[in-house]
Amino acid sequence: MAHTMPLRLASLLLPLPIAACAAPDGGYPSLQIRAAERFDPAAGQAEPLPPAPIPPELLAQVARLKAEAAAADAAFQRLLPAATAAAQAARGAAVASDRWADAQVAIAGLDMQRSETASALADLEILYAARALALETRDEIDDARQAVASIVAGQDATLVRLKGIIE
């Protein structure tokens, strides 16, 4: 009788590892041959064929995301002089003073634009990961991803610098 409880528990937990094999949409992963796994034995080709190029609609999405990041960075750069002046004016000011609050608001505006840039980067990361998992070409996505990541890193450094002025 003492052994029946662990057996019941084990029988309830047994399906869990099998359920972990399901795809996120509730189905099962495709067993179709991916582009990198294709080859032409008739041509005597021993190596897989090169992965398919990125479809034009995906390239358009990458270009759109890169443009969104550039627009957010342009807005960041437009707000930067006023935020820098506000932070310098707040140097040494008491917390909750008008100068300190003005600097906080100005920096928050920059932070909002930084989040727009980071959102575009996150979308590029998702596209890159999906192509990588499918063993498909992703060079153009990687180029855009690295360019946007560089913009985000620059914005982060600027925000750290400005926040350091008013602390």
Hey, is 97 helix, strand or coil? coil
Residue range 40-98, pLDDT digits in tens:
666 665 566 667 788 999 999 999 999 999 999 999 999 999 999 999 999 999 998 99
CA atoms within 13 A on the CB side of 77: 9
Global pTM exceeds 0.75: no
Whole-number pLDDT of residue 51: 72
Mean pLDDT in residue range 123-147 = 93
Band of pLDDT at residue 27, cut at 50, 70 and 90: low
Pure H helices in 90-138: 98-133
For residue 21, name the pLDDT band (cuts at 50, 70, 90).
Answer: low
Query: What is the average per-residue pLDDT within 37-41?
Result: 62
Radius of gyration over every alpha carbon of the chain, rounded to an integer in angstroms = 26
